[in-house]
Amino acid sequence: MDLKEYQGKDFFRRYGVPTSEGRLARSLEEADEAARALGFPVVVKAQVLVGGRGKAGGVRLASDAAELADAARAILGMDLKGHTVNEVWIEPASQIRHEYYVSLTLDRAARLYLLMVSSKGGVDIEEVARTDPGAIARVHIDPIDGLSGDVIAQAIEQAGIGEGREHMPEVLGALYRAFTEGDADLVEVNPLVVRDDGQLVALDAKVTLDDSAAFRHPEWQAYRADEELDSREAIARARGLNYIGLDGSIGIIANGAGLAMATLDVVQQVGGRAANFLDLGGGAGAETMTAALDVIAGDPKVQALFVNIFGGITRCDDVARGIVAALDSVELRCPMVVRLDGTNAREGHEILKGVVSDRVIVETTMVTAAQRAVEEARRASA
Ligand code: GDP
Ligand code: MN
């Protein structure tokens, strides 16, 4: 799970990484109230999961209420690289003396953590990596040894950190705790600034949490609630489906994550592209099938549906009854190709006979069904 800046800063604070106190605002009134409580000047920052907000106009300074209103009006509701801004984070503006870059990630190839530090912060780090790779210190950390004083000294030295270096060990130590104890896959601070009072403060926060560790972090619930989801993904999650939107034209419904993945592959193999990944999960009764059809039928990209079911514990006759019942309540905009195999497949096919038409097509193998769905989608868009 990726965190927005304000969530990332909340996460940082738990582990002692210094940040500024701030407030979240969703309207002009809330922004005004927040800024007055915090004290001017403030910085107003768009909360969306994209980088380069500064350059794109999503970060503005305001020294009084009038400037704040201008900034909040400009940023709230703006489209930032395809994301609509619904929230701004407001914090007291920092007087910046220097901007550094710091990050911790897992270097899978090396099987070690990777600490990166640069004195060229505040700018696009990929750009620095391209034009001036020597400006980024890269130091590996063995997870068994942890972050040693040697590693820190090496990073500070290589990166040429001057001002604020005396605070670096403490800040890096806190960031390392956030990364390890906090079960993050990535923590990135750009910029980590030296304020005019000499303190080091994380002015930005980019954090990716390791979803596999969610079970031991009940505090992540709050982040989850605010997670940005494609509206169809939100509906699907609320109805217990495992759905991910993609950009092709074949709507996929399968039972089991493995089969759903295989279905995507087969569709690709026969020249089509999936509009989504959808795993019905364990049951595939009328209710689940209706939910799945609802979600997918509402996707304007979908030109044909491919329902691919393998009955193991789930029986094909139950699935077939589910499909028949779902078709009573969901209007099909496009043809649906069904492939049922496994437990009680024959009974399932018998039940489907009642609904087979030029819109509901039954195929017996995964490949022929995929081919048929791709053909139907082509015909629909021709
Ligand atoms: P990003 O562009 O999405 O990475 O957003 P950042 O949070 O990194 O902000 C972009 C830039 O805005 C920073 O590199 C700073 O130069 C500037 N900025 C952010 N907060 C402050 C602040 O409190 N005071 C000042 N003077 N500049 C700030
Ligand atoms: Mn940044």
Q: Whose C-alpha lies nearest to ligand 1, atom 12? A: 54
Mean pLDDT of the 9-37 span = 97
- Lowest-pLDDT choice from 186-195, 265-274, 326-335: 326-335
Q: Which of 71, 92, 113 is the last residue of a domain?
A: 92
Whether the per-residue pLDDT at 228 is higher than 70: the answer is no
Domain match, 150 and 255 both: no
For the chain, the distance separating the N- and C-terminal CA atoms, rounded to the nearest angstrom, is 39
Residue 51 placed within a domain? yes
- CATH number (domain holding residue 72): 3.30.1490.20
Distance CA 312, CA 35 (A): 59
Whether residue 211 is found in the same domain as residue 252: no
Whole-number Å distance, alpha carbon 297 to ligand 2 midpoint, is: 39
Share of the chain above pLDDT 70, in %: 98
pLDDT of residue 247: 85
Domain boundary among 92, 119, 150: 92
206-209 and 184-195 strand pairing: antiparallel
pLDDT at 230: 64
Q: Which ligand is nearest to the CA of 123?
A: 1
Q: Is residue 8 part of a domain?
A: no
Contact 340, 281 (CB under 8 A): no
> Where residue 229 falls among pLDDT bands split at 50, 70, 90?
low
The percentage of residues in the chain with a pLDDT greater than 90, rounded to a whole number, is: 80
- Same domain membership, residue 363 and residue 238: yes
* Domain co-membership, 52 together with 87: yes
> pLDDT tens for residues 241-293?
889 888 899 999 999 999 999 999 999 999 999 999 999 886 667 788 888 99
* Helices and strands, number each (H, E), in the chain: 13, 19
Q: Which of 228, 227, 268, 225 minimizes the C-alpha distance to 246? A: 268
State whether the beta carbon of 203 lies less than 6 angstroms from ligand 1. yes
Lowest mean pLDDT among 249-253, 311-315, 364-368: 311-315
Q: Is the CB of 93 under 6 A from ligand 1?
A: yes
| Closest-lying ligand 1 atom to the alpha carbon of residue 121 | 14
- Is there a single domain that holds both residue 368 and residue 236? yes
Q: What is the pLDDT of residue 299?
A: 85
Give 238 Cα–ligand 2 centroid separation in angstroms: 33
| Containing structural domain, residue 36 | 21-92
pLDDT range class, residue 188, cuts 50, 70, 90: very high
DSSP letter, residue 165: G
206 touches 116 (CB < 8 A): no
Q: Which atom of ligand 1 is nearest to the CA of 92?
A: 23
Q: 129-183 pLDDT, tens per residue?
A: 999 999 999 999 999 999 999 999 999 999 999 999 999 999 999 999 999 999 9
CATH at 171: 3.30.470.20
Asked if residue 293 and residue 207 are part of one domain, the reply reads no
Asked if residue 51 has its Cβ within 6 Å of ligand 1, the reply is yes
The mean per-residue pLDDT over the stretch 40-50 comes to: 96
Residues labelled catalytic: 101, 188
pLDDT of 306 > 60? The answer is yes
The pick from 96, 189, 206 for probing ligand 1's pocket by mutation, whose C-beta has the most ligand atoms within 8 angstroms, reads 96
For the purposes of burial, counting CB atoms within 10 Å of the CB of 242, is it exposed (0-12), middle (13-18) or buried (19 or more)? middle
The model's pTM is: 0.70
- Give the whole-angstrom CA distance, residue 27 versus residue 11: 24
Most confidently modeled range among 280-284, 295-299, 373-377: 373-377
User: What CATH number is given to the structural domain containing 377?
Assistant: 3.40.50.261
Pocket flag, ligand 1, residue 53 (CB < 6 Å)? yes
Q: At residue 237, does pLDDT exceed 60?
A: yes
pLDDT of residue 380: 86
3-state class of 317 per DSSP?
helix
- Helix (H/G/I), strand (E/B), else coil: 15: coil
The rounded distance, in Å, linking the Cα atoms of 43 and 50 is 18
**Domain end among 53, 68, 92:** 92
Helix residue spans in 168-277 (DSSP H): 168-180, 221-225, 231-238, 257-269
CB 128 within 8 A of CB 118: yes
104, 88: one domain: no
- What is the chain's mean pLDDT, rounded? 93
- Minimum-distance ligand 1 atom for the alpha carbon of 94: 23
Angle at 371 between CA 365 and CA 372, to 5 degrees: 90
